[in-house]
Amino acid sequence: MTNRRTRSINVAKKSSLVLVSGRGYEQLAHEVAELLGIEVLPMKIYDFANGEIYAQISESIRGKDVFVIQSHTDPINKLIMEQLIMIDALKRASAHRVTAVMPSFGYARQDKKHKPREPITARLLCDFYKTAGADRIMTVDLHAPQIQGFFNGPVDHIEAMPLLVRYFKENHDLRNVTIVSPDAGRTKVAEQWSRRLDGCPIAFVHKTRDITTPNKVKTGRVVGDVKGRDCIITDDMIDTGGTIVGAANALKNAGASSISVAATHGIFSAPAVQRLSSASLREVVCTDTIPIPEEKRFKGLTVLSAATLLAPAIRGVFEGQSLGRVMMNNDNNLKFVQYTHLSDDIDIEETEV
């Protein structure tokens, strides 16, 4: 009798977990749903002739725990607005709780004022989501961790580092490795990588940014000994590739033996593909928090699935578990789909690490 009742409760509880997806990256949403053992709830979403967005839920979600997944990618402003409209529709349909899942958080680089009379758009975006009806936010590797404090509610900040580190452990010889931060601001992240790699050396590249011109940096000298070392540059995102390529050139001039890159968000805005393809890089490894279409893939690029980060986090929040403990357990059972551009074709390999 007890076992039958427990099974009924589990089935009923699982049925109250709902995952919906915007049009930003539906494939990732379906991968997450597959890992959760559920299906993505269909929504009717379309554009009016004047560009306005319409969204309607296909069935009742009254009392449900709903997770709205949307990658903030191009066209970023439209997709953000679409997710806000979806959240409003869900809240008005009496969802018990609505979690905005953003594998990549838009406007994360606008987290503070660099000059007078500038906006802090990351804070504005958090206010938008709270007003729309989001009860909590879930995202991966914020550009600036203090953004968590901009939202008046819980923020689940997931790190992609375990996934990236395990990949390098399984696929690279790390006996001669040095972790490199592309600027002084990310040396703490490099130290975390070092701790996961048995205390390997770290270095950083001195960089200055022209705050009057977007995506323009000036790379200086390397701080730390990288001569004859296998270097891994770590960063949260690759946009136009200027920072990464500048750091790679500085490392090469300093005598690095090989240079690889590990990043969470592969934005790859032009001319990133051209820059990265022509740079002296052994491999570029990122996750697919943002869709990476065929035209943005290049030789030496490896893409790891972010679904194995998002699915256990969603399950943990839904079940009321400690997210830190959930992700720690997940660290030891990572599975990912790996896409490696070694030639003109994409080799796809499912790996357990």
Supply the residues annotated as catalytic.
207
Other Cβ atoms within 10 Å of 157 Cβ, number: 16
The DSSP call for residue 249 is H
| 325 sits in which H/E element | helix 323-331
- Would you call the peptide bond into 271 cis, given omega within 30 degrees of 0 as the criterion? yes
Residues 6 or more apart from 296 whose CB is under 8 A from it?
A: 266, 268, 272, 273
Nearest 5 degrees, angle CA 143-CA 22-CA 31?
A: 80
What distance in Å separates the CA atoms of residue 342 and residue 91, rounded to the nearest whole number?
Answer: 46
DSSP string, 23-81: SS-HHHHHHHHHHHT--BPPEEEEE-TTS-EEEEESS--TT-EEEEE----SSHHHHHH
Rounded to the nearest angstrom, the gap between the alpha carbon of residue 343 and the centroid of all alpha carbons in its chain is 26
Strands 301-304 and 335-341: antiparallel
